[in-house]
Amino acid sequence: MNTLKPPHDPVEALGEAYELLLEKTLEKTRALERVTARAVHEMVDRARAELVALGRVTEREGEELAEALKRDLTEAARYLDETGRELKDWLGFDIELLEDRLRENLFAAADQTTLALNALRMAARAAEYHSGEITGPGTLVCDACGERVQLRHAGRVPPCPKCRGGRFHRPSA
């Protein structure tokens, strides 16, 4: 009996590419002597270029993934720095629900980015998320109705399930 593997879900593929971009960025930042916000962003861009060159994502997808990862790392670092709380609080659910590799990478990236946050502090503002954009896992709050949307994997931000709104933010402390 010959069974065909179902086609790969494009949303899942982008989530996997986001996680791969995170992993490759961490590999590159570990080699840095001095971690700065600019250096982390440059490593994201280098990892993006590598994924594009390997044919894992298109140029447009790579740009979108890189911007999403930069935003998420900056937002997580800002939250951790300003609140003194833990990464699980930023995610809005138990971090043990994430796969081991993703959990380890998020911890490492948030730590690296927290070190670099001082350089971004003056330019940092609360991140805004829109339906259709790519983001990492965590909880988003609809700006229109306050509904909390939990994303357990990296992927596209869906419209609000309650009001169909398209603008979100991460919950603050």
Each residue's pLDDT tens digit, 110-158: 665 655 554 454 334 457 899 999 998 999 999 999 999 999 888 999 9
Confirm whether 108 is domain-assigned. yes
Number of domains in the chain: 1
| Strand pairing category for 129-130 and 167-169 | antiparallel
Q: Spell out the alpha helix ranges (H) of the chain.
A: 10-30, 37-53, 59-83, 87-91, 100-120
Confirm whether 162 is domain-assigned. yes
Tokens found for residue 23: 């992993």
The mean per-residue pLDDT over the stretch 52-75 comes to 90
Given a cut of 60, is residue 163 above it in pLDDT?
yes
Confirm whether 128 is domain-assigned. yes
Confirm whether 25 is domain-assigned. yes
Q: Is this model's pTM higher than 0.85 or not?
A: no
The predicted structure's pLDDT at residue 100 = 65
Confirm whether 4 is domain-assigned. no
Quote the percentage of the chain above a pLDDT of 70. 69
| Residue 139 C-alpha from the chain's centroid | 12
Torsion (CA) 134, 135, 138, 140 in degrees, nearest 10: -70
Alpha carbon distance 127, 139 (integer Å): 13
Given a cut of 70, is residue 4 above it in pLDDT?
no
Structural domain of 101: 10-169
Confirm whether 5 is domain-assigned. no
